[in-house]
Amino acid sequence: MPTAVSPAKVAKFGGTSVATAAQLRKVQAIIDADPARRFIVPSAPGKADSKDTKVTDLLYLTQQLAAQGQPLGPVWDGIATRFTGIVADLGLDLDLRPVLAEVKARIEGGANADYAASRGEAIHGRVLAALLGADYVDAAEVVLFDRAGRLDPRTYQLIAARCAGPGRYVIPGFYGRDPHGEIKTFSRGGSDVTGAIVANALGVALYENWTDVSGVLMTDPRVVAEAKPIVEITYRELRELSYMGASVLHEEAVFPVREKGIPINIRNTNLPADPGTMIVAERDPGHQVVVGIAGTKGFTVVHLEKALMNAEVGFGRRVLDVFERLGISYEHTPTGIDTMSVVVADKQLGNRLDEVLEDLQAALKPDSLKVTARMALIATVGQGMNHAVGTAARLFSALAKARVNVRMIDQGSSEQNIIVGVEEADLATAIRAIYNEFA
């Protein structure tokens, strides 16, 4: 009789999860606890404590030293002893000296920054493979970038073919190779992306992303200390929250798994019994109308008013044209009958506000043109909002009770999101008020 095989899982471990030998022991226990965890994607060793430096940062530094013709000196020694120390602490029969010597020589010989940075994952992958008795797969063999720097779709077949056996595989995160055979990395935090690509290639049941928090929190714990983890959130809701500054996963990590409907489970390596957050394609919005609240400072709003604006064909386009000509991208454009506002991130605006105003004045001849600076935007995100009658009322009465003056409102057309603009000084109070209403 065939025995039931549990569907395979990808387990990606972030930098803090693999920072020390003690952390790697936790990883080992997690992998051993579930035979489905067969595809393991590690980051390079991250910070062991708050004063520590990530190995990836040290590797970038060695490349810069080499480029300036300076010796790699203690920076390299720190990296090398970090790895050899972990191997010794784990009691592994693994001699890293030849690999370390080769990497050092190549960096000294002028290897590019991507090569240097990627070696944290490449070397640590070998350590983890030895610890877990897994097959080590060099990501440069299976993760390919095309000439434009995008993922080459052949990657998926290569991973599937290379990892076809019944055992465990360790595939280091963060890098692959370009069409010239050179090592190329994703952007920072890119091991999340590798994990998602591996999950897609192997059609696994679950992509576990192990980190140092018990899931995505409903809001920033620096603002609401007791912020609860989100039990379940859709890919789309997560995207809305991340866009507003909640940083959880690498931005590009959602797409490969979403394509196959593979859920992502954010888990805590230090508290493995915690269920963490499930990121799914669909959820039942009945349980939780609002899943999360994210806010950021640093926006300016330009308000235009003109009588009979609504009858003037092309008004909105000409307003946005001004921003486009100046190469400034905008965030939101709430409109009224005779009013239109454009919300711009200060980072985008730089010191060009006067230019924007002059051009708007010349192009639109508005009756009034006003600016509100130092605005914060808060996104209250939840898929069920459009069906749950009274959500907006609850949101605004919570803000009113907290005496927060709402300066702007924008409901995203997805109806998954209500964005309010408040003065920067009110940001924390406003987030707390919304959290207490919906958590």
Give the binding site for ligand ASP (CB under 6 A).
15, 43-44, 54, 56, 120, 173-174, 188-192
* 189 or 384: CB nearest ligand ASP: 189
State in angstroms the smallest separation of the CB of 17 from ligand ASP: 10
In this structure, how many other beta carbons lie within 10 angstroms of the beta carbon of residue 330?
A: 17
Phi, psi angle pair for 248, to nearest 5°: -130, -60
Q: How far is the CB of 56 from ligand ASP (least distance, A)?
A: 4
Query: Which residue's CB is nearer to ligand ASP, number 125 or number 295?
Result: 125
CB of 340 to ligand ASP, least distance (A): 40
CB nearer to ligand ASP: give 17 or 300: 17
Q: Output 189 or 292, the one with its CB closest to ligand ASP.
A: 189
Contact assessment for residue 262 and residue 250, using Cβ atoms and an 8 Å cutoff: no
Q: Assess contact for 204 and 262: CB atoms under 8 A.
A: yes
- In the complex with ligand ASP, the residue whose CB is nearer, 13 or 315, is 13
> Residue 191 or residue 214: which is nearer to ligand ASP going by CB?
191
Rounded least distance, CB 173 to ligand ASP, Å: 5
Please report how close the Cβ of residue 68 comes to ligand ASP at its closest, in angstroms: 22
Minimum Å gap between C-beta 13 and ligand ASP is: 9
Closer Cβ to ligand ASP, 209 or 288, answer by number: 209
CB of 396 to ligand ASP, least distance (A): 39
Of 195 and 421, the one with the shorter C-beta distance to ligand ASP is 195
Least CB distance to ligand ASP at residue 332 (A): 30
